[in-house]
Amino acid sequence: MLGPSTAWYLGVAAFLFGTGALGVLVRRNPLIVLLSLEIMLNGANLALIAFSRHAGNGAGQIFALAVMAVAASEVCVGLGLVVALHRRRLELDVDRLSELRG
């Protein structure tokens, strides 16, 4: 393989994952939390693709595509929630949304 070895890609993936985790834990706006979640998923995807290339195995790329599909579904539902919250005039702050009420 030309360029850096797999280890470098994995380092980037790890950093992305950590950054995404930090964002999930620290931010209060649910939209930003969803975005940070996307970062984490992308980090995982990068690791999968890197290992797939390293081992010459196609399963990694298949898995990454599945992850992308799932991420899309999850974002769809999550954004639906945000829209519903907004419609009910609730404050978009995960700290405030601490009670499960219909």
Binders of other proteins among 22-61, rule CB under 8 A? Answer: 22-29, 31-32, 34-36, 38-39, 42-43, 45-46, 49-50, 52-56, 58-59, 61
Widest distance between CA atoms in the chain = 55
Decide: 92 and 85 in contact? Cβ < 8 Å: yes
In angstroms, give the least distance from the CB of 38 to other proteins: 6
In angstroms, give the least distance from the CB of 33 to other proteins: 9
Cα 13 from Cα 47, distance rounded (Å): 6
Tell me if 64 contacts other proteins by CB under 8 A: yes
Tell me if 20 contacts other proteins by CB under 8 A: yes
Tell me if 87 contacts other proteins by CB under 8 A: yes
Decide: 9 and 42 in contact? Cβ < 8 Å: no
The two three-digit tokens of residue 29, written as one number: 């706006």
